[in-house]
Amino acid sequence: MFFLFPDPHFKEKNHRRRVISPFLLDEYAYAIRPGGVIYTITDVEELGDWMKSCLENHPMFVALTEEELEADPVVKLLSSATEEGQKVSRNGGQTFKAVFRHYLSSFTYLPVAPSSSPLLLLTNFKLLQLKS
């Protein structure tokens, strides 16, 4: 999932409209498969710090290591793949990247169709049946 040079929404009352927020990260975690990656880049330092902080504080995302960042060909293209990125480069501006992987926690609840069925829980790759 890519968020390339999003609108910064500087006013505090509009922070809720930012495309990276604690609430929207819950939705993205639902939509992205485990192991999927969120790429963000901006030329606004405040927004870059905000996006990185939101992702760091979310339990379903973990930052890529330096080795993973260097090995990922997409990271190298983030600054040059868009017109906005090319404009920032031409003008000698800075960019702020945050790249995080959707992390599969040690347990995940599995959906159960009938309400009378016992709750199933997948933990450490073992299926457990909980009595209601």
Instruction: Tell me the catalytic residues.
Output: 7
48: helix, coil or strand?
Answer: helix
Single-letter amino acid, residue 100: F
d(CA 43, CA 124): 40
Q: Whole-angstrom Cα distance, residue 28 to residue 26?
A: 6
Determine contact, residues 32/75, Cβ cutoff 8 Å: no
